[in-house]
Structure 1
Amino acid sequence: MSNSVVNHLLSEFQLPLKSPVLVFSVILFIILLAPLILGKIKVPGIIGFIVSGIVIGPNGFNVLEKNSAVNLFSTIGLLYIMFIAGLELDMNEFRKKKYKSFAFGFFTFIIPLMLGLPVCYYLLGFSWSTSILTASMFATHTLVAYPVVTRYGVSRNEAVAITVGGTILTDTAVLIILAVIMGSSEGSLNYQFWIQLVLSLALFSVIMFLFIPKITKWFFTRLESEKTSHYIFVLSVVFFAAFLAQLAGVEPIIGAFVAGLALNRLIPSSSSLMNRIEFTGNALFIPFFLISVGMIVDLRVLLEGPEALIVAGALTTVAISSKWLASVLTGAVFKYTKAQSLLIFGLSSAHAAATLAIILVGYNAGIIDKSILNGTIILILATCIVASFATEHAAKKIMATEEEYLPENTDLEEPENILVPIANFDKLEAMLDLAVLLKEKGSANPIRLLSVVHNNEDAENNLRLARKRLDGLLHYAAAAEAGIDVITTIDYNAASGVIRTAREKGATIIMSGWPRKTTFLNKFMGDKTETIIEGTDKNLFICHLTRPIAVHDRIVLLCPPLSESEAGFSVWLSKVCLLAKELSAPVYCYCNLKTQAAVTSFLDERKITAHFNFADQFDLEDTDAIKSRLKPDDLLVFVAARKESQSYQKAFDGLQTKLERYLGSVTKILVYPKVSVYSYEDTPLGSIGEL
C-alpha cells in the first residue's frame, strides 16, 4: 500500500510536470515570489519572470514544457499587453502628437533596417532574403516593459504616447515585409497578393473602427448594470480582433492593439472596468507570457562554438544600438529630456513577440538557419533585460522630476472633498461612476455617499435600511479602487441634511442627482434643489445621467459671461478637462472672447491636453439654440450661477425645469460654481421628501 502511494507521488512529480493543477500551481508561485525575491536586489520583476522561465523551461531544469496550455496563456498575455497599450493611449495627446509618432515610427524602423542589412549581408554572410528578413526583425519591438510605466504612473507621458503609437506603425510595416518575403519565397508575390492584402486590411479597419464601437455602445447601454458582462464582452472583442487581423494577413498582436484603440474612448482609465482589465492582466496573463518567453531561451547555444557567439553578439549589438540611436534622434528632434529619450529606448528596445513570429516563420520556411534562431533567442533575453532596467530607471526619473498631466490639482487651499447625496438608489452606480472619474487621483479624502433619513417615528429603522443599501455598494466601488465613505443622517428635511453634512465634512464639491419634476407643493414650500443652491456656497454639480457616462462622444460646455470671475472657475473647468481626458472626448465650448482667453490661459498653465473647440456665445435662454447644437451622444455641461454671483443672469431662474422640458433625453450636468463671499443665513426649509 505504501509503495503504491510513493509510486503515485513520484509519478506526479516526474519531470516535466504533467498534472494541470500542479503546473498551474508552479506558475502561480513563480508569479508571486519572483518579483518579491528579485525586488530585494533591485531587479525589475519582469526580468524575474523571464529568468524563472529559463530555469523551469525545457532548456533549463525541464520542470515544465511548452504545451498547449502554456502556449494559450502566453498568447493571451501577449494580446493583453498590446490591448492595454492601445487602451491606455491618451488619444487627445496622440492626436496632437501623431506626427511625432509617425516620425519615431520611421526612425525606429529605418535605422535598424539600414544598420542590420549590411551587418547581416557583408559581416555575417547571409543571403539577401535572409539578410532582409533578419534586419527587419531588428526594427520590431514588443512592449514587454509597458507594465513598468503603468506601475509608476507615467503611462500618459508624451514619450510613452509616441512610442506606443510608433510601435503599431513599425510592427505593421515589418509584418508586411514578412508577408512579402514569404510570398516571394513561395512564388505567389503577384498583383493578386497585393490586392488581397490591401482589401483585407481595409475591411479589418472598417469593422474595428466603425462597427465595433457602435456595438459596444449598444451593449454597454442595454446592460448598464451587468459589469461582469462588460468585462467578458471586452475580452471577446480583443480575441475577435486578433482573429480578424490574422485573417487579414497580419499578426494577431496588431488586432489586439487596434481593439484597444477602438475601445479607448469607451473605457475610462479610472473606471471599474479598466481596473478589472488591468488587474487580471497584470496579475496573471502578462506574467504568464513573460515566463513563456524565458522558456524559449536556451543558454547552451553559447557553448556550441564561436559561430553561435558571433551571430548572437552581432544580432544583439545591432538590435540594441539601433534602437538607442532611434530614441536619441527622436529626443533630439523633438527636444525631449534625457529621461524621456531613455524611456523611449526602454519601451522600444525589447524584442519578443513580433521578433519570434518573424524568426520562427522564417526558420520553418528554410530562410533562416539554426544559428540565427539561437542568436535571436539570446537577443530576446538581452534586450528584455536592458529594456526593463532602462524603462524602470527612466520612469523613476520622470516621476520624481516632472509633473505629469494633473488638472485636478486645482484647490490648493483646501483638499478636494466630494459629497454625493443619494435619493434615487437606482441611479447610485451611475453617479458613483461619474464621481470616480472626477475625483483627484491623489486625493486622500474618500468619496462620501450621503443618505438623509426623515426624522419621524420610523427614523431609526429607516436609518439602518439606508446604511445597509449603501454598504451593499461598497464592493462595487472597490472594483475601481476608489475610497468610499458611507454617511447616513437624520434630519427633518433632506435638503437641510445635505447642507449641514456638507458643512460638517468640509465638502468642496456636492454632486447631486437631477431633481424630480416639480409639483405644486414643491413650488409653494420651496424646491429641494433650489434650497441646496441657496443654502451653500459649495461647487454644486447637478447631474442627469440618461445613459452610461462612457458612451458620450463630445462634451458641450456652455459658459455665461464673467464665469471666469467666479471662485469656483478653476474647479469646474479642471473637472471638465478631467472628464474629457477620461472619455477621450473633445470639448465644444460656447463662450465670449474674455472667457475663452481665461480658459485658454488655464489650459496652457496646467499643460492640459484636452482638445477644446471654441465658438461664439449665444443667448443661453434660447433652448432651441442649445438643442440645435447637441447630438444624441453629447454630454451637456451648463455653467449657471447663484443670484449673488457676478455671472448671474435672469435666464438661470427655473433653469432645471427648462432643461428637463426641452432636453429631457440628453445627459447634462448643471454647475453652480463656488461663490467668493457668502454669508450663511437661516437656511429655508424645503418640502419633506427625497432629493
Structure 2
Amino acid sequence: MQQIFHNLIKEFQLPLSSPVLIFSLILLIILFAPIALKRFNLPGIIGLIVSGVIIGPKGLDIIANDSAIHLFSTIGILYIMFIAGLELDLQQFKKHRNKSLIFGAFTFFLPLIIGYPVCRYILGYDFNASFLTASMFATHTLVSYPIVSKLGVSKNISVALTVGGTILTDTAVLIILAVILGKSRGGLSEEFFITLGISILLFSAFMFLVIPRIAKWFFQKMESEKHAHYIFVLAVVFFAAFLSQVIGLEPIIGAFVAGLALNKLIPESSALMNRIEFIGNSLFIPFFLIAVGMQVNIKVITAGPMALVVAGTLSLVAIVGKWLAAWSTQHIFKLSKDQRGIIFGLSGSHAAATLAVILVGYEAKILDENILNGTIILILITCIVSSLVTERSAKAILIQNETRDLVSEEKETSNRENIIVTASKAIKFEKLLELALLIKNKKSDEPVTILSVVPNNEAAEENILKSRNKLHEFITMASATEVKANIITTLDHNAASGIARVAKESMADLVITSWPNRARMLDLFIGEKMEGIIRSVDKNLFICRLSAPLVTNKRIVLASPPLAELEKGFDLWVRKVIRLAEELTVPIFHYGHTHTHSAFKQKIHKMGVNISYFHHNFEDWDNFVSFTRFVKPEDLFVVVSARNGSVSYMGVQDHLHYKLDKYFEQISKIIIFPKQEGVLTGDDNYEEINLSPLNRSLDAFELVGKSIKDFFNKKQP
C-alpha cells in the first residue's frame, strides 16, 4: 500500500512527467473550461487560453512546454488555417477579391504606420527593432475562427474579406521578417529576392495544379475507403506546410493554401468535412489555444514599470490598428456594424505569426526581453478581446439571418422536407445517398429514408432480412454527416407501386432513384419498371446515374424545357440544383427558355447564395443530339423532363434515358421529373402492362432489327 502511495506522489510531482496523466489533464481542460466560461456568457476559447496560463511553466508549472505540446500546438494552428481555406466561399472570394486586397492593405499598413513611430520615438528602439515590432502589429491569427465556423456564419462576406486579408498580410509580414534578417546578417541581395519569387511561383503551381489532380484521382480510386480520405487530406496539409517552410515562408501559409487547393473536392456537407472539423475542433485546435496560454508570463507584471509600459503600449497599438482597419473597410464597402465586428474580431487576435516574428527577432538579438514579454501579454489580451467581439457579432449576424429566413418560402417547409432514396441494388445506394445528403435542407428535422422494395414471393421474409442487413451500413454513412436516416423495407409485387405507396405514406417531397438497367425486348413491349415509377410516383423524382464521385464534376449543365417554371415542383428542384452547385462549388450552365432563366435567377437571389450561373437560350428540343456539343466528360448533366399531360411535356421527352445512355453513356447524369398533381396510381399488379404507345413498339422493332442485323454480320466470313 505504501508503494502505491509513493508511486502516486511521484506521478504528481510538478511538472507532470507521465504522458498519460498530462494528456488526461489536457482533455479535462478541453472538456470543462468552455463549459465553465459559458456560465458567464464568455467564449470557451478564453477558458482554454486562461487554463494554459495557469498550468503552464510561467504559471503553476503543472505541465512543461515540451516537444509534445509544441507538436500538438503546431498541428492546431495548421488545422485552423487549413479549415479557413477549406471553408472559404471561393465564389464569394472571387467576387470580392478586390475588397480582400483593400482590407489586406488596410490591416497591413495602418498598424505598421501607427506602430513604427510609437516604437521608434516613444519606446526608443532602433530602426530594425521598431520596424520588426511594427510589422508584428500587422500580423494576426484566426484564433476566433472556430466561433464563426461553429455558429455557421463562415460564408458571410466579412469572413471572406478577413480570411483573404489574413493570408495577404501574414505573407507580407513574413517576407519582411526574412528581409530584415537578411539585412541584419548582411545577406540581402538580388539573388535573395529572385530565389524567393521563383520558389513561391513553383509552390503555387504545385499546390493548385498538381495536388487537386492527385486528390481527385485518389478519391476516385479509393472511393469506398472513407477513412483513407481523411489520412490523405492530413498528409496533404502537412506536406504543404513543409514545402512552405522550405521556400522560406511560415507553415501556416502552406496549410491555408492546402485548404484552398482541396476546397472544391470536399463539400461542406460531406462526411469527410464533418470528420475534419470534428477532430480539429475537439482536439488539435483546443491544444493550440492551451499552448498559446502557456506562453504567457504573468510575472512580467512584477518585472518593473518598463515592462508594463511596453506591454500596455504594444497591446493598445495592436488593438487600435486593427480596429481602424476594420472601421475603414466597413465604411468603404458599406458593411454593417456587426460585419465590422466580425472583421475586427477575426483580425484582432495575435498568436502564432506574431510569436514567430518576435521569437525570431529576439533570437537574432534584434529585439530585447521587454518586447518579448510585452508581446506575450499582448497575445493574451488580444485573444480575449477578439473572442468576445467575434462571438457577439457572429450571434447578431446569425439572428439577422434567422429573421430573414422566417419570411422566406424555404423556411415554411424547412422542418418537413422528406427525401426517399431507393435503388435496385444495394451497391447503388452509396452515391445516391451522398447526393441526398448534399442537397438536403440542413434545417430539416426529417430523416433521409432509405427504401428497399422486396418482391412479395415465397422468399420475401428472408429477402427482407438480407436487405436490411445490407442497408444498415448506410445509416452509419448518414450519421457521419450528422444527418438522421432510417431504413424502410417493404413488400410489393412490383417496385413502382411499392415506391409510390411509401412516398405517399411518408409524405415525401423528393424521391431519388437509380438509373434503369438496359431494357430487354420484352420490357419495350409490355412497359418497363422505370416507366411505371414515373407514372406512379407523383412526387419530385430524380433518376440518377452517377458515373464518378460528385466532387470530381467541374460543372452542372442544366437543360430545361419551355414552361418548366410553371410546373408545381419547379421551386423544389431549382433549390436542390442550386444547393448542389453551392456544395460542389461549381458553376451552373443553364440551357433553356428565357422565362425559365428569369425564374431561376429570382430563386438564386431569394436564397442569397453565391454561385456562378450562366444562361444560354435553347429551344430546339427536337434536336436533342445537339447537347453533345455543350456537355463535357467531367460535367454533371441534369435534364428536366415532364410527365405526360403536364404543362411542359413534349413528345421528345419519352424514353429520355435511352437517348442519354446512347449519347452520354460515360457522363454522370440526372433526369428530373417535377411534382405533378393528379397522376393516377393503382394497386393493380399488372398496371405496367401497356400495349398502346406506338413509339415503344417502334423502339422494340428497331432493337429486334438491330439484333438480327448484328447476328448475320457475325456469320459473314
TM bucket (normalised to shorter chain) is: over 0.9
Instruction: Identify the residue that residue 698 of structure 2 maps to in structure 1.
Output: none
Question: How far off is 1:172 after superposition?
Answer: 0.8
Find the counterpart in structure 1 of residue 526 from structure 2.
Answer: 525
In structure 2, the partner of 1:508 is: 509
Q: Which residue of 2 aligns with 1:428?
A: 429
- Return the alpha-carbon distance in structure 2 between the equivalents of residues 621 and 311 of structure 1: 78
Q: Do 1:244 and 1:255's aligned partners in 2 also have CA atoms closer than 8 Å?
A: yes
Q: Which residue of 2 aligns with 1:306?
A: 305
2:561–2:640: 8 Å Cα contact kept in structure 1?
yes
Distance 1:481 1:535 in 2: 32
Amino acid paired to 1:389: L
TM-score normalised to structure 2 length: 0.93
Kept after mapping to 1: 8 A contact 2:22/2:63? yes
CA distance in 2, matches of 1:24, 1:686: 65
Match of 2:631, as an amino acid?
L
Deviation at 1:340, TM superposition (A): 0.9
Q: Partner residue of 2:577?
A: 576
Alignment of 1:216-255 (within 5 A): 216-255=215-254
Query: Residues 96 and 404 from structure 1, CA distance in 2 versus in 1: closer, same or farther, beyond 3 angstroms?
Result: farther
> How far 1:3 sits from its partner (Å)?
4.2
| Per-residue deviation, 1:56 | 0.5
Shifted more, 675-684 versus 562-571: the winner is 675-684
RMSD: 1.7
1:492 aligns with 2:493: yes
| Number of the residue aligned with 1:482 | 483
C-alpha distance in structure 1 between counterparts of 2:430 and 2:386, whole Å: 41
Query: 1 CA distance for matches of 2:288 and 2:530?
Result: 54
The whole-number CA distance in structure 2 between the counterparts of 1:654 and 1:411 is 36
* Contact 1:419 1:449 (C-alpha < 8 Å) held by counterparts: yes
| 1:622 aligns to 2:623 (yes or no) | yes
SS at 1:402's partner residue?
A: helix
Contact 2:496 / 2:537 at 8 angstroms: preserved in 1?
A: no
Contact 1:327 1:341 in 2 (8 A): yes
In the other structure, the counterpart of 1:365 is 364
For residues 592-630 of structure 1, give each alpha carbon's deviation from its aligned partner in whole angstroms, at most 9, with x where no partner exists. Answer: 222222222222233221110122215344354212212
Which residue number corresponds to residue 673 of structure 1? 674
- Residue 63 of structure 1 is matched in structure 2 by 62
Q: Which residue type is aligned with residue 318 of structure 2? A: A
> Shift in Å at residue 5 of structure 1?
3.3
Give me the whole-angstrom Cα distance separating, in 2, the residues matched to 1:456 and 1:634.
41
Cα separation, 2, equivalents of 1:318 and 1:21: 42
Larger RCO (CA within 8 A; separation ≥ 6)? 1
8 Å contact from structure 2 (residues 421, 429) kept in 1: no
- What SS does the aligned partner of 1:214 have? helix
Contact 1:541 1:671 in 2 (8 A): yes
Partner of 1:402 in structure 2? 401
5+ residue gaps, structure 2, are: 690-717
Q: Which amino acid aligns with 2:574?
A: L
**Per-residue deviation, residues 535-582 of structure 1 (Å, max 9, x unmatched):** 122111111111111111111111111111111111111111111111
1:339-350 equivalent positions in 2, closer than 5 A: 339-350=338-349
**1:392 equivalent in structure 2:** 391
- Could you tell me how far apart the structure 1 residues matched to 2:110 and 2:489 are? 64
Which residue number in structure 1 is paired with residue 566 of structure 2?
565
8 Å Cα contact 1:419/1:511 also seen in 2? yes
In the superposition, the TM-score normalised over structure 1's length comes to 0.97
How many angstroms apart in 1 are the aligned matches of 2:512 and 2:420?
Answer: 6
Say if 1:547 and 1:244 are closer, same or farther in 2 by CA, change over 3 A: same
Contact kept in structure 2, 1:623 and 1:662, CA below 8 Å: no
1:685 aligned partner = 687
Q: Take 1:342 and 1:20, find their aligned partners in 2: how far apart are those partners? A: 40
Alignment of 1:286-305 (within 5 A): 286-305=285-304
CA distance in 1, matches of 2:122, 2:668: 65
Matched residue, 2:451 = 450
Deviation digits for residues 64-115 of structure 1 (CA, Å, limit 9, x no counterpart): 0111111111100000000000000111111111111111111111111111
Distance 2:171 2:688 in 1: 63
How far 1:533 moved relative to its partner? Answer: 1.1
Indicate the structure (1 or 2) with the bigger Cα radius of gyration.
2
Counterpart position of 2:22: 23
SS at 2:412 equivalent: coil
Q: Helix, strand or coil: the match of 1:635?
A: strand
Aligned to 1:351: 350
| Cα pair distance change 1:146/1:409, threshold 3 Å | farther
- The answer (yes or no) to whether the contact 1:591–1:616 under 8 Å persists in 2 is yes
Q: Separation in 1 of the partners of 2:409 and 2:165?
A: 31
Q: What residue is the counterpart of 2:194 in the other structure? A: 195
SS of equivalent residue, structure 2 residue 615: strand
Q: Deviations over 1:187-230 (max 9, x none)?
A: 11111000000000000000000000000000000110000000
Do structure 1's residue 609 and structure 2's residue 616 form an aligned pair? Answer: no
Is 2:77–2:288's contact at 8 Å kept on the other side of the alignment? yes
Native 8 Å contact 1:142 1:350 kept in 2: yes
1:129 partnered with 2:119: no
Q: Matched residue of 1:648: which SS?
A: coil
8 Å CA contact 2:535, 2:679 repeated in 1? no
**How many angstroms does 1:409 deviate by?**
5.9
Q: Pairwise mapping of residues 27-426 of structure 1 onto structure 2 (< 5 A)?
A: 27-403=26-402, 410=410, 412=412, 415-426=416-427
CA offsets 1:475-511 (integer angstroms, 9 cap, x no match): 2221111110110111111111000100100001000
Shift of 1:422: 2.6
Q: What percent identity do the matched residue pairs reach?
A: 52
CA positional deviation for 1:468: 1.6
Q: Distance in 1 between matches of 2:679 and 2:432?
A: 28
SS at match of 1:325: helix
What CA distance in whole angstroms lies between the structure 2 residues aligned with 1:429 and 1:682?
30
The residue type paired with residue 478 of structure 1 is S
Please give the per-residue CA displacement for 1:517-541, whole angstroms capped at 9, x wherever unaligned: 1112222232212111111221111
SS at match of 1:472: helix
Partner of 2:223, secondary structure, is coil
600-609 or 485-494, larger mean C-alpha shift: 600-609
What SS does the aligned partner of 1:460 have?
Answer: helix
Is residue 497–residue 683 contact of structure 2 (8 Å, CA) maintained in 1?
Answer: no
Q: Which residue number corresponds to residue 714 of structure 2? A: none
Distance 1:405 1:59 in 2: 48
Distance 1:681 1:619 in 2: 36
Q: Distance in 2 between matches of 1:671 and 1:405?
A: 30
Letter in 2 for 1:685: E
Q: List runs of 5+ in structure 1 lacking aligned partners.
A: none
Question: Is the CA contact 2:237–2:255 (under 8 Å) kept in the aligned structure 1?
Answer: yes
- Alpha-carbon offset, residue 583 of structure 1: 0.7
